[in-house]
C-alpha cells in the first residue's frame, strides 16, 4: 500500500520501519510533503516514538508523529478481518457462497 492509499483509507494503518519494527496508527496525514502518523497518546506506538511527536493536544487523546524520510519500509492495513495470506473475510464468504450455490444447483440437476 502506498502512503497516498493509506491516507485515503484513513483508519488502522500499520507501518513497518527500515529497522524491522512495527507501529500501529489511527491514520496517516500528509502536510507540506511530509508524512505524519496519528496515534493515541497513551499507545505503545506513541510511547516508543515520543521523540518524533511534533504535536500533542492535552484536550485530544491523539498525537501527531513525523516520519523521517528513511523511516518507512512498508505500509499496510492493521485490519483484523484479513487473514495472514491476504485473503479477506469477504473473499472467503464469496467462495463459500459460490460453493453453496453450485452445490444447490448440482442437487437440482440430480
Domain ranges in the chain are: 3-79, 81-110
Of 75 and 85, the structure prediction assigns the larger pLDDT to: 75
Q: 60-64, long-range: CB within 8 Å, 24+ apart, which pairs?
A: 62/26, 62/38, 63/38, 63/39, 64/29, 64/36, 64/37, 64/38
Q: What's the rounded Cα separation, in Å, for the pair 48 and 85?
A: 28
What's the average model confidence in pLDDT over 96-100? 82
Residue percentage of the chain with pLDDT more than 90: 24
Question: At residue 11, does pLDDT exceed 80?
Answer: no
Amino acid at each position: 500500500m502506498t502512503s497516498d492509499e493509506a491516507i485515503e483509507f484513513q483508519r488502522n494503518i500499520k507501518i513497518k520501519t527500515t529497522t524491522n519494527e512495527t507501529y500501529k496508527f489511527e491514520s496517516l496525514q500528509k502536510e507540506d510533503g511530509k508524512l505524519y502518523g496519528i496515534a493515541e497518546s497513551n499507545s505503545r506506538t506513541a510511547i516508543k516514538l515520543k521523540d518524533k511527536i511534533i504535536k500533542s493536544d492535552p484536550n485530544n487523546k491523539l498525537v501527531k508523529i513525523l516520519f523521517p524520510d528513511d523511516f518507512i519500509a512498508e505500509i499496510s492495513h492493521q485490519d483484523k478481518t484479513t487473514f495472514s495470506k491476504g485473503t479477506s473475510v469477504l473473499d472467503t464468504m464469496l467462495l463459500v457462497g459460490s460453493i453453496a450455490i453450485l452445490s444447490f444447483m448440482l442437487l437440482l440437476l440430480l
